[in-house]
Homo-oligomer: A and B are copies of this chain.
Amino acid sequence: MHQEIVNEGLNLHVSVDCVVFGFEFGKLNVLLLERKMVFQGKEYSDLKLPGDLVKINEDLDTAAARVLFELTGLENIYLRQYAAIGTPDRLKRQARDMEWLRQIGHPEETVVTVCYYSLINIDQEKIQKFILQDNARWHPVSQVKDLAFDHMEILDDALKSLRNELRFNPIGFELLPLKFTLTQLQKLYEIILGITLDKRNFRKKVSNIPYVISINEKEKGVSHKPAQYYTFSKKVYEKTRRTSLDFFV
């Protein structure tokens, strides 16, 4: 194995790409960078995911955190590594991508990219504001149809991974206030999963979850019938997780 290939020197580039999902009530967004270039004699711009080459002696997770920090100023955001992609032609499928690499002097060899996603709340009422770098903007995920390189596939895979994680882990609660209504909870799942859920089935399912707990408080000052508030108990969650065997759910 290793013995057979020696002294070949540095053999590939490694980058990280970050799919940063921004949740707000109403829609799911993704953070994209505008890429400006001259292509076939004309000004041209399109969109790409944030990413960068990994530096020598830099850990992969550190590189991903650096990319996110440089774009948003946010630190300590949980970034989940979900794939590494090294398809040999991945940067060279479109003429404009090859031209762009040439213009910025990017190496033309294959770049293996390690992909991360994160999910943050960008609802301005709920979290502190943060400043995006000039060429970075939030775009509704449902409206993104074309990206540079293979970034559309990377985004699609990130969305699949996020949705899968949401089904099996209680990551959604971090996006909700401490006390929330079942309507808010259902809306959150609908937005991230991109589907409409049946209200009755949803509530039946939630009623079987021991760590979503109703508290002795209702909505105030609303014109409709005040809804019950619920809260997520991490303590109960961890206790019930340890003792259950959720094989092939």
Contact = CB atoms under 8 A, between A and B. Distances in A.
B106 A6 contact: yes
Interface stretch (A19-27, A47-55, A139-147, A174-182): A47-55
Given A57-B88, A168-B246, A12 B12 contact: yes
B248 A167 contact: yes
- Max chain B C-beta neighbours (<10 A), residue from A13, A237, A249: A249
A41 interface: no
Copies of this chain in its oligomeric complex = 2
Contacts of A53: 2, 5, 8, 11
A40 interface: no
Interface stretch (A109-117, A213-221, A223-231): A109-117
A214 B201 CA distance: 28
Nearest to A49: B1
Interface residues of A, number: 63
Interface in A94-140: 104-107, 109-110, 112, 114
10 closest A-B pairs by beta carbon, nearest first, are A10-B10, A6-B105, A60-B86, A84-B84, A57-B88, A12-B14, A84-B114, A170-B248, A167-B247, A246-B249
Interface of A: 1-15, 33, 50-60, 67, 70, 81, 83-88, 104-107, 109-110, 112, 114, 166-170, 172, 189, 193, 197, 201-202, 205, 209, 237, 245-249
8 contacts: A2-B53, A7-B107, A10-B11, A11-B53, A54-B86, A168-B247, A169-B248, A205-B245
